[in-house]
């Protein structure tokens, strides 16, 4: 196989172009109906479309068929960068605001279905994200994908869908059917760094070719197969964890900002950890509904009341 040319090796995937065209036209119709739609969201969609075309039709796509390292860059774009841009474009919110009242109710009803809520919850999306990364890199999937174009197309869809579902409730203010607190978002993203690290380290340390089809397709040009595989692992490890770290910093900044800008008159949201700490310390709220566990005087009074209650139970026992 002759080495691809960076300038001339552009292709057209008609099915993907049709899907992109339908999505862009639908988004544009929604923007026209809403009229006042933030430019940043439009720019996010445009960037996602450009990157998707680059991944599918540019010389990057051609090199990705022959170099594991380039294919890994494509994977990161498909499972993290492009889904992130789609979430930031907020197509669901646009559909709700551009629809009639009845249409908006139907969209929100679909998002509220138990199945939909499960498919977009971290309980499903984090294991899915991990399974996709591990299953497509540390098994024979890459070899199968290199030999079968249908599997290659399915891989593209799998990466886009799993990345979008994972990031949907974690980043930004898109309507998702979930209202995850910033601590939950932070922990979810932190856990998702594990599969990136695992895949990267295993690829870097493995002494045998996981997908020999990459080297076989090059016919003499390109890097040593194991060096290319090790580079792919480094890209996944440092690139994947680096992108995830950026998202963690964004969520942490939003978390801090939300605490600073919270209206003091609004009720304070209590996390499950605070609830458990309150239950263990002052019981079922015997300190009064307005007692604050972090207020020294109130906490001391509630704690003493809890001790008296437990002492009375012990004596009766």
pLDDT for residue 285: 47
- Closest to 74 measured CA to CA, from 147, 160, 196: 160
Q: What is the pLDDT of residues 250-280, one digit of tens each?
A: 999 988 887 766 555 554 444 444 544 555 5
CB atoms within 10 A of CB 129: 25
pLDDT for residue 262: 57
pLDDT for residue 286: 45
DSSP 61-110: HHHHTT-HHHHHHHHHIIIIIHHHHHHHH-HHHHHHHHS-HHHHHHHHHH
Contacts of 40 (CB under 8 A, 6+ apart): 88
pLDDT for residue 219: 72
Q: Along the 317 residues of the chain, how does pLDDT read in single tens digits?
A: 557 666 677 888 899 999 999 999 999 999 999 989 999 999 999 999 999 999 999 989 988 988 999 999 999 999 999 999 999 999 999 999 999 999 999 999 999 999 999 999 999 999 999 999 999 999 989 999 988 889 999 999 999 999 999 999 999 889 998 888 999 999 999 999 999 999 999 999 999 999 999 988 887 787 899 999 999 999 999 999 999 999 999 999 988 887 766 555 554 444 444 544 555 554 544 444 444 445 556 666 766 776 677 666 555 55
pLDDT for residue 91: 97
pLDDT for residue 299: 60
Contacts of 72 (CB under 8 A, 6+ apart): 232, 233, 235, 236, 239
- Kindly report whether the global pTM for this prediction surpasses the value 0.85: no
pLDDT for residue 308: 72
Q: How far apart are CA 188 and CA 191, in angstroms?
A: 5
Q: How far apart are CA 29 and CA 4, in angstroms?
A: 38
């Amino acid at each position: 196989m002759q080495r691809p040319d960076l300038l001339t090796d552009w292709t057209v995937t008609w099915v993907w172009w049709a899907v992109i065209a339908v999505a862009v036209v639908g988004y544009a119709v929604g923007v026209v109906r809403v009229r006042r739609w933030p430019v940043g969201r439009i720019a996010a969609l445009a960037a996602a479309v450009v990157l998707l075309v680059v991944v599918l039709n540019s010389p990057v796509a051609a090199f990705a068929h022959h170099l594991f390292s380039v294919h890994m860059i494509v994977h990161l774009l498909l499972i993290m960068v492009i889904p992130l841009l789609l979430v930031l474009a907020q197509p669901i919110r646009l559909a709700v605001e551009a629809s009639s009242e009845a249409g908006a109710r139907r969209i929100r009803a679909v998002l509220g279905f138990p199945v939909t809520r499960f498919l977009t919850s971290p309980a499903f999306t984090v294991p899915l994200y991990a399974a996709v990364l591990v299953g497509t890199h540390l098994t024979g999937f890459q070899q199968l994908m290199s030999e079968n174009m249908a599997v290659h197309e399915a891989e593209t869809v799998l990466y886009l869908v799993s990345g979008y579902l994972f990031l949907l409730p974690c980043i930004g203010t898109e309507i998702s059917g979930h209202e995850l607190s910033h601590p939950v978002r932070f922990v979810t993203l932190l856990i998702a760094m594990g599969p990136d690290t695992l895949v990267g380290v295993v690829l870097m340390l493995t002494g045998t070719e996981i997908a020999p089809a990459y080297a076989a397709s090059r016919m003499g040009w390109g890097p040593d197969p194991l060096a290319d595989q090790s580079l792919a692992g480094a890209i996944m490890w440092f690139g994947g964890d680096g992108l995830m770290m950026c998202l963690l910093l964004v969520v942490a900044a939003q978390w801090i900002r939300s605490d600073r800008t919270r209206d003091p008159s609004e009720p304070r949201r209590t996390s499950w950890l605070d609830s458990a700490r309150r239950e263990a310390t002052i019981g079922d709220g015997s300190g009064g509904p307005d007692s604050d566990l972090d207020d020294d005087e109130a906490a001391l009074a509630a704690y003493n009341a809890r001790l008296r209650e437990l002492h009375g139970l012990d004596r009766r026992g």
